[in-house]
């Protein structure tokens, strides 16, 4: 019988917390819609607002929270702000979800 060393067990527990946080963030329909839209190509706030059918102020709040959570990154080009997925692991997960469900 293999018994895990305490360090290995702690690493697994720490990873579970990170994964749970990502899944919690994905559990909101608007955040999931945003991420599904930018999985292959960055989008502007306006494009995301139109797709999700919410107000621009509500979308701005979602995007700000997702940036703080480390899910998104943004870049400014002229008057437009473009959003994309900032984490390679999240991008891989989103592509898998898209393949399974879309």
What are the angstrom distances between the C-alpha of 8 and each of 48, 97, 98?
A: 41, 28, 32
- The range of the structural domain enclosing residue 78 comes to 6-101
Q: Is residue 1 assigned to a domain?
A: no
Q: Is residue 37 assigned to a domain?
A: yes
* Residue the block writes with tokens 């579970």: 16
Q: What's the pLDDT score for residue 13?
A: 81
**Is a pLDDT exceeding 70 seen at residue 73?**
yes
pLDDT band at 1 (very low <50, low <70, confident <90, very high): low
pLDDT over 70 percentage in the chain: 98
Question: Which residues are within 8 A (CB) of 87 and not within 5 positions of it... i.e. 6 or more apart?
Answer: 70, 71
pTM of the model as a whole: 0.82
Nearest Cα neighbor of 85 from 76, 77, 73, 93 is 73
Q: Is residue 22 assigned to a domain?
A: yes
pLDDT band at 87 (very low <50, low <70, confident <90, very high): very high
Total domains, the chain? 1
- Read off the CATH number of the domain in which 85 is found: 1.10.10.10
């Amino acid at each position: 019988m293999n018994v895990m060393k305490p360090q290995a067990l702690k690493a697994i527990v720490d990873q579970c917390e990170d994964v749970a946080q990502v899944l919690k963030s994905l559990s909101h329909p608007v955040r999931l819609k945003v991420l599904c839209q930018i999985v292959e190509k960055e989008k502007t706030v306006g494009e995301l607002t139109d797709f999700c059918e919410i107000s621009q102020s509500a979308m701005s709040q979602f995007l700000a929270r997702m940036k703080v959570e480390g899910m998104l990154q943004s870049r400014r080009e002229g008057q437009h702000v473009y959003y994309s997925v900032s984490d390679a692991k999240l991008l891989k997960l989103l592509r898998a979800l898209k393949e399974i469900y879309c």
